[in-house]
Structure 1
Amino acid sequence: MTELHMQSIPISTIADVFGTPLYVYDADVIAATYTSLRRVLHPAIELYYSLKANPNISVTAELIDAGAGAEVSSLVELQTAAAAGAGPEQTIFLGPGKSDDELLACVEAGIRAVVVESRGELRRLAGLAGAESVDVLLRVNPAFTSTGSGLSMGGKPRQFGIDEEDIPAVVAEATGLPGIQVRGLHAYMGTRILKAADVVRNTAEILAMAARLRQDCGIELDTVDIGGGLGVAYFAKEQDIELDELVPGLNEVVAEFATGHPDTRLIMELGRYLVARAGTYVVRVRDVKTSRGERFAVADGGTNHHMAAVGIGSFVKRNFPIRHLTALDEPAVAPYTITGPLCTPNDVIGKAVPLPEVRPGDLLGVERSGAYGPSASPVGFLSHGHPAEVLVRDGTAHLVRRGDIPSDLLDRQILITRTKEHDMTADHTIADHTIKAIAVALDEVLQRELPPITEQTRLFDELHLDSTSVLELLMALEEGLGIEVDPEALRPEDFDTVGSLAEYVRAQAADSTAGSTAGSTAGSTAGSTSA
Structure 2
Amino acid sequence: MIKAAPKHANMDWFPVIDNCLHAGGQTITRLAARVGQTPFYVYDRSIMTQKVEQLRAVLPEGLHLHYAMKANPMPAVVQHLSQLTDGIDVASVAEMQVALNTGINPLTISFAGPGKTDAELRSAIAAGIIINMESEGEMERITLLGNALSILPNVAVRVNPDFELKTSGMKMGGGPKPFGVDAERVPEMLKRCGELNLNFKGFHIFSGSQNLRPEAIIEAQTKTFALAYRLAEFAPQPITWLNIGGGLGIPYFPGETPISLDAIAENLKPLIIEAQQRLPEAEIVMELGRYFVGEAGLYISEVVECKESRGEKYAITNGGLHHHLSASGNFGQVIRKNYPVSVANRVTSDRLEKISIVGPLCTPLDIIADKMTLPEICVGDLIAVYQSGAYGFTASPRDFLSHPHPMEILV
Number of the residue aligned with 2:159: 140
Task: Please give the alpha-carbon distance, in whole angstroms, between the structure 2 residues aligned to 1:20 and 1:256.
Answer: 52
Number of the residue aligned with 2:386: 367
Equivalent residues in 2 for 1:288-327 (5 A)? 288-311=306-329, 312-327=331-346
1:128 aligns to what SS in structure 2?
Answer: helix
Unmatched 5+ stretches in structure 1:
393-531
Equivalent residues in 2 for 1:224-235 (5 A)? 224-235=242-253
Number of the residue aligned with 1:404: none
TM-score, length-scaled by structure 2 = 0.91
Task: Please give the alpha-carbon distance, in whole angstroms, between the structure 2 residues aligned to 1:216 and 1:390.
Answer: 47
1:228 aligns to what SS in structure 2?
Answer: coil
**Does 1:114 find its partner at 2:131?**
yes
Whichever of the two has the greater Rg, that structure is: 1
Runs of 4+ in 1 over 4 A off after TM superposition: 4-7, 216-219
Number of the residue aligned with 1:127: 144
Number of the residue aligned with 1:12: 29
The amino acid across from 1:14 in the alignment is L
Find 2:117's aligned residue among 84, 87, 99: 99
Task: Compare 6-15 and 101-110 and name the one that shifted more.
Answer: 6-15
The amino acid across from 1:340 in the alignment is G
C-alpha RMSD of the superposition: 1.7
2:245 aligns to what SS in structure 1?
Answer: strand
Task: Please give the alpha-carbon distance, in whole angstroms, between the structure 2 residues aligned to 1:370 and 1:363.
Answer: 18
The amino acid across from 1:284 in the alignment is E
Number of the residue aligned with 1:481: none
Asked if 2 retains the 8 angstrom alpha-carbon contact of 1:200 and 1:253, the reply is no
CA displacement at 1:314 relative to structure 2: 2.4
Asked if 2 retains the 8 angstrom alpha-carbon contact of 1:42 and 1:251, the reply is yes
Asked if 1 retains the 8 angstrom alpha-carbon contact of 2:303 and 2:381, the reply is yes
Asked if 2 retains the 8 angstrom alpha-carbon contact of 1:65 and 1:85, the reply is no
Change (3 A) 1:102 1:333: same
Change (3 A) 1:337 1:109: same
Unmatched 5+ stretches in structure 2:
7-21
The amino acid across from 2:61 in the alignment is P
Asked if 2 retains the 8 angstrom alpha-carbon contact of 1:146 and 1:190, the reply is yes
Task: Please give the alpha-carbon distance, in whole angstroms, between the structure 2 residues aligned to 1:373 and 1:132.
Answer: 37
CA displacement at 1:150 relative to structure 2: 1.0
Deviation digits for residues 478-507 of structure 1, max 9, x if unmatched? xxxxxxxxxxxxxxxxxxxxxxxxxxxxxx
The amino acid across from 2:49 in the alignment is A
Asked if 2 retains the 8 angstrom alpha-carbon contact of 1:171 and 1:219, the reply is no
Task: Please give the alpha-carbon distance, in whole angstroms, between the structure 2 residues aligned to 1:99 and 1:343.
Answer: 37
Number of the residue aligned with 1:84: 102
Deviation digits for residues 293-327 of structure 1, max 9, x if unmatched? 11111001001100011225322210111011112
Asked if 1 retains the 8 angstrom alpha-carbon contact of 2:5 and 2:344, the reply is yes
Higher helix share: 1
**Does 1:150 find its partner at 2:152?**
no
Task: Please give the alpha-carbon distance, in whole angstroms, between the structure 2 residues aligned to 1:308 and 1:9.
Answer: 26
Asked if 2 retains the 8 angstrom alpha-carbon contact of 1:331 and 1:355, the reply is no
Task: Please give the alpha-carbon distance, in whole angstroms, between the structure 1 residues aligned to 2:61 and 2:319.
Answer: 43
CA displacement at 1:203 relative to structure 2: 0.8
Change (3 A) 1:176 1:215: closer
Percent identity, aligned pairs only, is 38
CA displacement at 1:39 relative to structure 2: 2.5
**Does 1:333 find its partner at 2:335?**
no
The amino acid across from 1:41 in the alignment is L
The amino acid across from 1:3 in the alignment is A
Asked if 2 retains the 8 angstrom alpha-carbon contact of 1:374 and 1:386, the reply is no
Asked if 2 retains the 8 angstrom alpha-carbon contact of 1:142 and 1:187, the reply is yes
TM-score, length-scaled by structure 1 = 0.71
CA displacement at 1:254 relative to structure 2: 2.4
